[in-house]
Structure formats: structure tokens, C-alpha cells
Amino acid sequence: MGWGYVEDAIDKSTLQPILDVMAPVLGGAPQPARPGPSAADVTLATPAVDPPQALAAFVSTDHDQRLLRAVGRSFRDLATLRAGTPLAAPAAVATPRNPQELEDTLAWASDAGLAAIPFGGGSSVVGGVNPEDMGDWPGAVTIDLQRMNQVFGINERDRVVHAEAGILGPALENALAGTGLAVRHYPQSYFHSTLGGWVATRGAGHFSTLRAKIEDRVQSLSVMLPDGSTSTTRPLPASSIGPDPNRLWAGSEGALGVITDVRLRLVADPAHKLSASIGFRDFETALEATRAIAQAEIWPAQMRVLDPFEHMVSTALAGGAGEGALMILGFEGEYDVSRQRDAAVEIARAHGGTPRTSGDSGAGDWREAFFRQPYLRDALLDHAVIVDTFETAVPWSAVPAFYHSVLEATGEALDEVCGHGGVACRVTHAYTDGVALYFSFYAPGEHDALLTQWHALKAAVSEAVVAGGGTMSHHHAMGRDHKTWARTEIPDAFRSAIRGAKSALDPTGMLNPGLWFAD
């Protein structure tokens, strides 16, 4: 079990050169390959329940069905599967095809005294859907919404698509074919995540500026509460009637109601695309240029900035030898974007950057590599190589001290826990007041200690993020994995408010228990 589609997995001949490149970081060859368990090998800790006959068409207690929804796709999830200990799993899996079946599922779970965990594409990397930390709940029905995937309508005048929450990224994009409109929200999980999941986690896509976060693109949404009642926010471009209801459910991770459908703001299919890459002698200089571009209101569609190690790793994999930091800019729009590109390049140059190439190529390769990274992680994991990432956002004024302190803390933890390791960083999204940083680390793990090693590393990096004033997540949500450290960034009054809201919406606390909402 791993990421995505079996036929897309990385084969041995592709892997060896990667291992060769990584050898210096890993302190030599990694452990011999030990494949992950097959589905049948995994024992489920939680007993299944007997669903009523009336729900048989969309509720299953099949082993594989339960296993498939027992975890997300975090490193912890994969290491847990390999550890061989019995796995916390849903007591049953519901795949409702419409709101009535969803209502029936919730009513049954409620009657049976079971928790309910809304589930989108299952690509959570933060323990968002694992039936763990559930207090007194004896088990959970995981509600996979992927069969609620209708497109209700495309409003071309408003540039809004109205679709059910369970639709996957590509299906939503395909539904727009021929309209001249597009979603263009490409998280790394694009092929395996849903519209509702994006909103419930406040995810980010490939837009580095302006439309980075999905919550800024939600015009309206509907939720179903445990009692089966539904509510829809009024589709409006903006309002000042009380707090914004859409913003209560954006980031609610299934704990404040099941998001059933969303009206999402679209963009024009870009008629114009341009890119540029710019070299910098170091990351600090590149960050200053990034800040200047972000604050200049040029709004590049993409602005990825690789630190020297990230740059070295990514070019080494392609047989090259990148030095220094690299900024990759992408511009796209309904109208000519050359002036934007030129302005950004000019600012970068004024901040010490050296333009490398210019044109409209390159973005496609990068995009494909980006979507393939999780497959690589699986292949490396066979060799007990720990590959994990964490992402955060901080104000500009905290950078670069934040970058250095997190790098140092991560490096020290890797040395201590694994004896070797490397840590890389890139800018993924930028704002006028700060930046999102995405860290990746690699270390030689041990097959029989992966989970322990990961927990030690996760604690060390999370403490460094919190100490530096970063958020525990810019776009992956909180889940169970971030709960401990996320506490420090949730103001007391907000915790009280959300608990109050949760009590009103979900009086028994049955929805996705285990998040901070109910602590």
C-alpha cells in the first residue's frame, strides 16, 4: 500500500540513480529493500460493526475497504502500516451516493453510538482521517464522499462551478472542458483529493500568490449536520452580515458538519503562459527578491524558490549540478502576461538574481516531477529511507532567522536520530506580509524503528517551527499529527468559541473526534 495508482509506481531502474545521488546524504547505501505489506497482511485493531440491511448498498465492513480508509498518506501512516501492529480502522465504511444516503449514514452512526469521520480522497498527510484519539468513542464510520461527485452547474457569467464535495480534482477540471474556465488548483494530491477535502483542510494549490488558498475561492458551501439538517451559505461575492459563514467550515476538517457541496470561483483557462528561472547565490538573497516581487503586486501564478540543497537534489536527479538558490516563476492569464514576467525578472535582477532561461518551457516537467514525488517516497521507504516534509508560513520579518533555526534543529535531529540526513527548503506561496516554506528531509532509517524515528524527528521539527513563530501548517491542516504543537497557536478565546460552535452543531461530538475542537 502506498501513494496513488499502482501502475505509476517507481521501478527499480529509476530508483537506483536516485539512491546513488542520495548516498552522500544517507551516509552510504540504505538498508536492503523490504517491501511494504500487502493489504491482506495488515491486521485491523478495531472490530467491525454490523450495519443495518437497509444501508447495505453503501455501507461495507470489508477488510480492504476499511483498511483503505484507516489512514491517510503521511509518512507516519506508511510507517505504521509497515510496523505490523494492528491498525486503528473504521468499524465500517459508508460510500453514500446522495444526501439521503449520507443522512441515513449519520442517523445510523448516531443511533449505534459510533463516531463519523468524513473522508475525501484520503490524501491527508496530517492524520486527518485516522480513527484514533477518539476518547470514549468505541469506533467510527468513515464516510467516503467520493460517490457524491456530481457537477450541479457551471455559471459562466459568475465564473463559478457548483459541485458535490466528493469530486476529485481531475473530474472537476474535466467538467469545465469547453467552457473556457478552469479550476487550476493543483495540490500535490490533485489526482487523489476532493473539492470538499480541499475546503475542509484549507488547502493550497499551484497558485503561489493571490489564489493560493482554496478558502479565498469559496463562494458558497453546504453542510449536513449529524441530525441530517442541511444548510447552504448564500452565494455572494462578499458580504458584511456577521462573520463569514464559509470561513467557519473552511478548515473545519469534518468536525463541524459534513461539507456536501461547494460553489468554487474559477479562473479563465489561461491563454497566455510564460515562465522564467533566476539563480541566486544563496537562499537569503532569493528570499529578499521573493519578498520584493510579492509586495510589488505583480502576482506571479507560480513562484517556487529552492534553497541550495533543494536545488542540488532536484538537479542531481536530472543528472545536473545546480548551485545556489533557484527561483522558478510562472505567469498565466487570460491576457498577455509578458509585462508581469518582465517586471518580476527585473525586480529579481535588482535583488542580485541572474536570469537563467526564459520562455514558456520547463513548467510541464516540473509539474510532472511534482506529482511523482509521493511515488518516490514509497520506493525509498522500501529501503527504510525516511522521506518526509513539513510546511509552514511565517511573516517576512521572521525570515531568514526562522529558516536557519529550523534547518539547524532538523539537521541536529536527523544526526541524532538517524546518524545522517539532509534537509531542503523551498518557498511555495508568498504573500505581502509573509511566506510559506516547505521543508523536505531525508535520512537513513531502520526498517524496524521507522515509526519511533519519525516521532522523534516530527517532535524536533515541530518544536522548531513553533518556537520560530511559524504555523504548524500553511495548507495541510492540523489533523491528529499537529494537534500537540498547534495548540500554541490557537488563541484561548477561539478555542472556546469553536468548542461552543461544535457543541451546537454536533452535540454528541461524533464528527471526527480527536481534533482540538473538543479538547
Scan residues 393-452 and list those touching a copy of itself (CB under 8 A). Answer: 393-397, 429, 431-436
In the complex, what is the shortest distance from the CB of residue 45 to a copy of itself, in angstroms, rounded to a whole number? 28
Q: Look-up: residue for cell 480513527?
A: 131
Smallest separation, CB 252 to a copy of itself (Å): 6
CB distance 300 to 330 below 8 Å: yes
Which of 231, 315, 358, 405 touches a copy of itself by CB under 8 A? 231
| Contacting a copy of itself within 132-151 (CB under 8 A) | none
CB of 449 to a copy of itself, least distance (A): 29
Among 453, 482, 509, 510, binds a copy of itself (CB under 8 A): 482
Question: Which residues, in sequence order, are CB contacts of 235 under 8 Å at separation 6+?
Answer: 158, 160, 219, 220, 263
Distances (CA, A) of 196 to 167, 200, 259, 296, 401: 8, 6, 6, 33, 36
The whole-angstrom separation of Cα 70 and Cα 77 is 9
> In terms of CB distance, is 137 or 485 closer to a copy of itself?
485
Q: Is the separation of the CB atoms in 90 and 117 below 8 Å?
A: yes
Task: Provide the CB-side half-sphere exposure for 434 (13 A, CA).
Answer: 14
Question: What is the distance between the alpha carbons of residues 468 and 482, in angstroms, rounded to a whole number?
Answer: 16
Site string for a copy of itself, 151-180 (x = CB under 8 A): ----x-xxxx--------------------
Tell me the closest approach of the beta carbon of residue 22 to a copy of itself, in angstroms. 30
CB of 157 to a copy of itself, least distance (A): 4
CB closer to a copy of itself out of 322 and 470 = 470
Q: Which is nearer to a copy of itself, 249 or 442 (CB)?
A: 249
Q: Kindly indicate which of the ranges 56-64, 82-90, 166-174, 247-255 contains the residues binding a copy of itself, using the contact rule CB under 8 A.
A: 247-255
Task: For CA atoms 324, 187, 391, 318, give the dihedral sign.
Answer: negative
C-beta of 43 vs 496, nearer to a copy of itself = 496
- Say if CB 420 and CB 26 are below 8 A apart: yes
| CA-angle at 196, arms to 195 and 197, nearest 5° | 90
Q: Which of 281, 372, 455, 499 binds a copy of itself (CB under 8 A)?
A: 499
User: Of 227 and 408, which CB lies nearer to a copy of itself in the complex structure?
Assistant: 227
Q: Which of 46, 201, 462, 512 binds a copy of itself (CB under 8 A)?
A: 201
Kindly identify the residues of this chain, within the stretch 344-373, that bind a copy of itself according to CB under 8 A: none
The reply on whether position 303 binds a copy of itself by CB under 8 A is no
**In the complex, least distance from residue 172 CB atom to a copy of itself, rounded to whole angstroms:** 17
* Cβ 361 to a copy of itself shortest distance, Å: 23
C-alpha torsion sign, points 170, 173, 176, 178:
negative
Q: Cα–Cα distance between 187 and 55 in angstroms, integer?
A: 34
Distance separating alpha carbons of residues 171 and 174, to the nearest angstrom: 5
How many residues make up the chain in this entry? 519
CB closer to a copy of itself out of 23 and 292: 292
304-343 residues near a copy of itself, rule: CB under 8 A: 333-335, 339, 343
Closest separation in Å from C-beta 147 to a copy of itself: 23
Please state the closest distance from residue 94 (CB atom) to a copy of itself, in A.
21
Do 513 and 133 contact (CB within 8 A), yes or no? yes
72 makes contact with a copy of itself (CB under 8 A):
no
CA distances from 380 to 146, 183, 264, 414 (A): 29, 32, 37, 17
With 0-12 / 13-18 / 19 or more C-beta atoms within 10 angstroms meaning exposed / middle / buried, residue 413 is buried
**Binding status of residue 47 toward a copy of itself by CB under 8 A:** no
Q: Which residue, 242, 273, 245, 271, is CA-closest to 259?
A: 245
The three cell numbers of residue 341 are 514576467
> Minimum CB separation from a copy of itself for residue 238, in Å?
5
What are the φ/ψ torsions at residue 182 (nearest 5 degrees)? -155, 160
Nearest distance from residue 242's CB to a copy of itself, in Å? 5
Kindly state whether residue 234 participates in binding a copy of itself, applying the rule CB under 8 A. yes
Residues in region 452-471 near a copy of itself by CB under 8 A: 469-471
Question: For residues 336 and 319, is the Cβ–Cβ distance under 8 A?
Answer: no
Sheet holding 59-60, edge to edge: 59-60, 92-94, 140-144, 115-119
Q: Give least dist CB 492 to a copy of itself, A.
A: 5
Stretch 267-286: interaction string toward a copy of itself, x if CB under 8 A: xx------------------
The residue from 81, 363, 502, 511 that contacts a copy of itself (CB under 8 A) is 502
The verdict on 497 binding a copy of itself (CB under 8 A) reads yes
In the bound state with a copy of itself, the residue whose beta carbon lies nearer, of 272 and 367, is 272
DSSP strand pairing (140-144 vs 115-119): parallel
Nearer to a copy of itself, 43 or 432 (CB): 432
Per-residue binding letters, 211-230, with a copy of itself (x by CB under 8 A): -xx-x---x---x-x---xx
Q: How far apart (Å, rounded) are the C-alpha atoms in residues 418 and 446? A: 8
Stretch that binds a copy of itself, among 83-91, 99-107, 117-125, 198-206 (CB under 8 A): 198-206
- Least gap, CB of 448 to a copy of itself (angstroms): 33
Residues near a copy of itself (CB under 8 A), total: 98
Cβ-Cβ contacts under 8 Å for 196 (sequence gap 6 or more): 118, 120, 145, 164, 165, 166, 259, 260, 261, 262
